[in-house]
């Protein structure tokens, strides 16, 4: 009894890799292996690169907006129409200024997801599920190993990125202290340079952490996807059907094929036997084939049935052990006999035709 329980325990233990079918089913539900930190790192890298490339364009646009505001708009009367005009103009210029960066950010976001999981669109995660509101399951998620890993990862990110940011600001502290003696353009240039350096450095550190996170997410995903031996058996049954039912279906198919074959035996010209173990029914028709062909064959009980039907319909039966064995092994039902059997079969048919002619 104890041995049986142990076997059931090991059969239910999830030790096997997930099958392609389970992976596909889980993917349809939106369950895939991906790291959100990879998406964030790639998004930040491309966003800062876009700021570096389009920084001059953004500065020029902002300067034009300020020049227009302090040389033209400042003299307008404050009315609903003038305020609306200023707001619309500023919104259009801001949209033009931010459009390249937003476009690059959107492309980077889609690209990072495609790079990790390929194209995936599913609405399964949007469906209402009461299990998500289960407080017990929620508590398990909060106090799970995964939650602890996420906490440590967040603490590491804050510490690392905070340290990098402080180090860069400290490296430029002298330049920052001298800003009081420079003009606004130089100050903006310094702030922009420091911001880009901080952003790219912090993003590089985040990208390093994201790679580690991706490896962990993949490991955790594979671990959760594991199947037990019983799960694999059940999946196979669902895909292929119950083996017992399949065997019964095959048995029925064999019986139907045998009945169809037996119905063809009365059309045979001759039945070649072993004499007891093998029986092959041959027919020759110039209209259907260029050589004699097999319309039925069988061994043991099937061979006996073929001989009985042949006897009932006065079909000639010829005993030829080597020929019967060879035909059974090499020729399927409905096929013409090979060329090497032409002479032997022709002699048998000629003999039968002579006997029928005399009769």
Rounded to whole angstroms, the Cα distance separating 50 from 102 reads: 9
Name the region of 17 (left: φ>0; alpha: ψ -120 to 50; beta: rest). Answer: beta
pLDDT recorded at residue 38: 83
Please tell me the predicted confidence (pLDDT) of residue 9: 42
This prediction has a pTM of 0.49
pLDDT at 142: 63
HEC string of the chain equals: CHHHHHHHHHHHCEEECCCHHHHHHHHHCCCCCCCHHHHHHHHHHHHHHHHHHHHHHHHHHHHHHHHHHHHCHHHCCCCHHHHHHHHHHHHHHHHHHHHHHHHHHHHHHHHHHHHHHCCCCCCHHHCCCHHHHCHHHHHHHHCCHHHHHHHHHHHHHHHHHHHHHHHHHHHCHHHHHHHHHCCHHHHHHHHHHHHHHHHHHHHHHHHHHHHHHHHHHHHHHHHHHCEEHHHHHHHHHHHHCCHHHHHHHHHHHHHHHHHHHHHHHHHCCEEEECCCCEEEEEECCCCCCCCCEEEEEEECHHHHHHHHHHHHCCCEEEECHHHHHHHHHHCCCCCECCHHHHHHHHHHHHHHHHHHHHC
Q: What is the CA radius of gyration of the chain?
A: 42
From the list 261, 281, 334, 274, the residue with the least C-alpha distance to 300 is 274
Local mean pLDDT, 10-residue blocks, the chain (359 residues): 45 71 76 80 84 82 84 82 86 87 86 78 63 62 71 84 87 81 78 82 84 84 80 71 68 77 78 80 76 81 82 80 81 81 80 68
Q: What is the pLDDT of residue 242?
A: 59
């Amino acid at each position: 009894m104890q041995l049986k329980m142990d076997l059931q325990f090991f059969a239910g233990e999830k030790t096997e890799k997930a099958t392609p079918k389970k992976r596909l089913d889980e993917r349809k539900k939106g369950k895939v292996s991906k790291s959100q930190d990879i998406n964030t790192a790639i998004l930040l890298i491309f966003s800062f690169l876009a700021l570096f490339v389009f920084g001059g364009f953004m500065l020029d646009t902002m300067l034009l907006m300020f020049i227009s505001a302090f040389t033209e708009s400042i003299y307008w009367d404050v009315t609903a129409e003038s305020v609306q005009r200023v707001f619309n103009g500023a919104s259009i210029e801001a949209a033009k200024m931010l459009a390249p960066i937003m476009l690059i950010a959107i492309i980077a976001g889609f690209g990072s997801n495609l790079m990790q999981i390929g194209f995936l669109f599913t609405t399964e995660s949007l469906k209402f599920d009461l299990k998500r509101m289960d407080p017990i399951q929620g508590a398990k998620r909060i106090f799970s190993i995964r939650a602890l890993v996420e906490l440590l990862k967040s603490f590491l990110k804050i510490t690392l990125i905070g340290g990098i940011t402080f180090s860069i600001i400290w490296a430029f502290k002298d330049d920052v202290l001298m800003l009081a003696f420079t003009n606004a353009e130089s100050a903006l240039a310094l702030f922009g340079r420091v911001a880009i350096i901080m952003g790219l450095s912090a993003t590089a550190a985040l990208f390093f952490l994201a790679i580690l996170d991706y490896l962990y997410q993949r490991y955790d995903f594979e671990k959760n996807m594991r199947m037990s031996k019983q799960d694999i058996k059940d999946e196979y049954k669902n895909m292929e059907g119950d083996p017992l039912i399949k065997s019964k279906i095959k048995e029925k198919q064999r019986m139907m094929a045998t009945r169809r074959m037996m119905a063809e035996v009365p059309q045979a010209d001759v039945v070649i036997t072993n004499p007891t173990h093998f029986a092959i029914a041959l027919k020759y028709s110039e209209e259907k084939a260029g050589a004699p062909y097999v319309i039925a064959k069988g061994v043991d009980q099937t061979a006996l049935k073929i001989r009985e039907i042949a006897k009932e319909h006065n079909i000639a039966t010829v005993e030829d052990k080597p020929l019967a064995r060879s035909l059974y092994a090499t020729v399927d039902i409905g096929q013409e006999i090979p060329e090497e059997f032409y002479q032997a079969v022709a002699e048998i048919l000629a003999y039968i035709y002579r006997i029928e002619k005399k009769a």
